[in-house]
């Protein structure tokens, strides 16, 4: 009898799950972006929304809810119904916040389920032309000879730009002062103007300034050289092994979202990022597609949380 009951239960699951996957989405889907309008997360969310809309034949709406270092919008998504009609566009800002802001109203891996990563982009370490160095080794030697005197800008505490700087300091054993800004534009302006010595910034943004010799590109932050700055070595190959710090984006959904819907979204997103035209377009922008199933992405998130928690602890980083 137990075997028959189990068989009946399995048949019920199979028969009930199939229509759900086939009928989703039956109404418009909202993608919450907890970052500023016009930034990479917002831009790629709109790109993915348009692609999903075309593929799944339903409206996908992007709703920007920035504030408190992504916490406001992420909390809104966490408290939304787990029915597949509210999604979260997220990045490594959220994985950093797991250790940086322990008293948040949500826990990323408790309150969300991984859907799919989108892409990643390298950062580039640049210095103002007045800084007397030409490569990473010279910068490290200068920083060691002037402990505490050099500084670097970031777009705010806990952002990828800041954490890349802290990882660099940790691995190279340097004493460089962090100067946080409320956004990347202010930080960039002050590095260009010589008021701050250096910063890690998005390759896509800094490439033109490098070409115009307004800053000096020292190294990029990925495992391999950037497609749009191929002549610039990575931090790792230039002398700081094991360094890797990128900006990546992904999609999550409130915990409890049916697995059939999560898998359906994952398939649709991976279909988009594997398109030849998308790969070529993103390549020109310096963005690399990331393709994982939900389980793989969940493990990736766990590893990223652990990685940055170690840096937050060792550098004694506190939220603003």
pLDDT at 36 (0 to 100): 81
State residue 35's pLDDT score.
86
Taking CA atoms, 68 is separated from 35, 153, 182, 197, in Å, by: 9, 19, 11, 27
Q: Within a 10 A sphere around the Cβ of 136, how many other Cβ atoms?
A: 22
Residues of the chain with pLDDT under 50: 1-3, 5-14, 16-17
| CA separation for the pair 171, 307 (Å, rounded) | 13
Indicate the DSSP class of residue 234. Answer: B
Q: What is the model's pLDDT at position 244?
A: 93
CATH 3.40.190.10-classified regions of the chain: 122-238
Measure the CA–CA gap between 60 and 71, rounded to whole angstroms.
22
- List CB contacts of 91: < 8 A, sequence separation 6 or more: 35, 41, 70, 160, 247, 248, 249, 250
Domain spanning 2-120+246-314: CATH superfamily:
Bordetella uptake gene, domain 1 (3.40.190.150)
Tokens of 154: 């970031």
- CB-CB contact of 203 with 121 (8 Å): yes
Provide the whole-model pTM: 0.83
Q: Give residue-wise pLDDT tens across range 19-36.
A: 566 789 999 999 999 988
Give the rounded distance of the alpha carbon of 302 from its chain centre.
Answer: 14
Determine the pLDDT at residue 1: 46
Say which CATH class 122-238 falls into: alpha beta
pLDDT at residue 2, as a whole number: 44
CATH 3.40.190.150 domain extents, the chain: 2-120+246-314
pLDDT of residue 54: 96
Contacts of 240 (CB under 8 A, 6+ apart): 136, 140, 168, 171, 172
Instruction: Quote the pLDDT of residue 288.
Output: 93
For 263-304, write each residue's pLDDT tens digit.
999 999 999 999 999 999 999 888 999 999 999 999 999 999
């Amino acid at each position: 009898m137990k075997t028959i009951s189990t068989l009946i239960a399995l048949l019920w699951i199979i028969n009930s799950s199939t229509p759900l996957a086939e009928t989703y989405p039956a109404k418009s889907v909202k993608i919450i972006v907890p970052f500023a309008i016009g930034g990479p997360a917002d831009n790629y969310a709109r790109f993915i929304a348009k692609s999903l809309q075309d593929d799944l034949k339903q409206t996908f709406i992007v709703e920007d809810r920035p504030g408190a270092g992504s916490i406001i919008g992420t909390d809104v998504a966490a408290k939304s119904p787990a029915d597949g009609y509210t999604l979260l566009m997220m990045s490594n800002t959220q994985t950093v916040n797991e250790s940086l802001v322990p008293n948040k109203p949500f826990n990323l891996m408790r309150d969300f389920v991984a859907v799919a990563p989108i892409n990643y982009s390298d950062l580039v370490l640049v210095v103002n032309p007045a800084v007397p160095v030409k490569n990473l080794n010279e910068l490290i030697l200068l920083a060691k000879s002037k402990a505490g005197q050099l500084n670097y800008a970031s777009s705010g505490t806990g952002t990828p730009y800041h954490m890349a700087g802290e990882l660099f300091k940790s691995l190279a054993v340097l004493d460089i002062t962090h100067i946080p800004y409320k956004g990347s534009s202010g930080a960039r302006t002050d590095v260009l103007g010589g008021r701050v010595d250096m910063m890690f910034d998005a390759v896509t943004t800094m490439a033109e300034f490098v070409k115009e010799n307004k800053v000096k590109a020292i190294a990029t932050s990925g495992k391999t050289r950037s497609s749009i700055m191929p002549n610039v070595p990575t931090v790792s190959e230039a002398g700081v092994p094991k360094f890797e710090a990128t900006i990546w984006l992904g999609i999550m959904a409130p915990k409890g979202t049916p697995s059939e819907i999560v898998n359906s979204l994952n398939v649709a997103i991976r279909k988009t990022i594997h398109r030849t035209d998308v790969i070529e377009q993103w390549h020109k922008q310096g963005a690399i597609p990331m393709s994982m199933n939900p389980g793989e992405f969940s493990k990736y998130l766990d590893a990223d949380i652990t990685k940055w928690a170690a840096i937050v602890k060792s550098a004694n980083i506190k939220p603003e």
